Structure 1
């Protein structure tokens, strides 16, 4: 069975559906590329996937140490290049105000984040700037 089934809706929009859960989202081309920018663009999803994957892997590692990472938040900035049009850099700023005071554990979480499947799958030329504010 496929993982995702997608339909083209017209007007530069798609509707990917996650087959296992039935969850569906809409993508839209960004304003600077002929779209309306009314939903995530495909490249926005790539940037979002990087941060979400990093936190998922940190959560798995934290759980093994009986730690919850509640309160961890992040902001993602995607920078596009002009020619060829592609993602040039993804910047992720993590903030965790109630992080434990355990430098060894925090380093373990940071290392886990940087080796998440999405981070490892992205092209080596795509710059990943990851800032941990904890």
Structure 2
């Protein structure tokens, strides 16, 4: 059974609908690749998926250990190669205003992030630079 239904809308724009929830995402080609850049590009979504997946798995570990991730935020930088055009590196900078004061739990959270399903699914040639600023 499909998870997502998508439609090409023309002008390098797509619309994707998550079938279970009905939520929609639009993508545009980036300006440097003939697009309008008015929405996430498909490669932006790859980078965003990595960060989101890492935090989701960290959240599962945190809940299991009775820890709140409140105040956790992250910034993502996607670096592209031109020949061939592909993502060469994703840099994620995690920031946590008030991290838990337990080195064992912090290490468990870091390990969880690095072993999320998206991180493990990406080609090993794609460099994943993860900075935990906590």
Residue number in structure 2 paired with 1:28: 28
Q: Return the alpha-carbon distance in structure 1 between the equivalents of residues 19 and 2 of structure 2.
A: 7
Q: Does residue 1:96 correspond to 2:86, yes or no?
A: no
**For residues 124 and 106 of structure 1, what CA distance do their matches in structure 2 show?**
25
Cα distance between partner residues in 1 of 2:66 and 2:124: 34
Distance 1:49 1:63 in 2: 21
* Corresponding position of 2:5: 5
- Counterpart secondary structure, 1:21: coil
Shift of 1:67: 1.0
In the TM superposition, 1:13-52 aligns within 5 A as 13-52=13-52
DSSP-derived class of the 2:38 partner: coil
In structure 2, the residue matched to 1:65 is 65
Q: Please state whether the residue corresponding to 1:2 is helix, strand or coil.
A: coil
Give the CA RMSD over aligned residues: 0.4
Q: How many residues are matched?
A: 134
Give the SS at the match of 1:38.
Answer: coil
- Structure 1 partner of 2:106: 106
Task: Give, in angstroms, the shift of residue 70 of structure 1.
Answer: 1.1
How does the TM-score come out when normalised to structure 2? Answer: 0.99
Q: Which residue of structure 2 aligns with residue 56 of structure 1?
A: 56
SS in 2 for 1:25: strand
- For 2:105, what is the secondary structure of its paired residue? helix
TM-score of the superposition, structure 1-length normalised? 0.99
SS at match of 2:50: helix
Q: Which structure has greater strand proportion? A: 2
The offset of 1:97, in angstroms, is 1.4
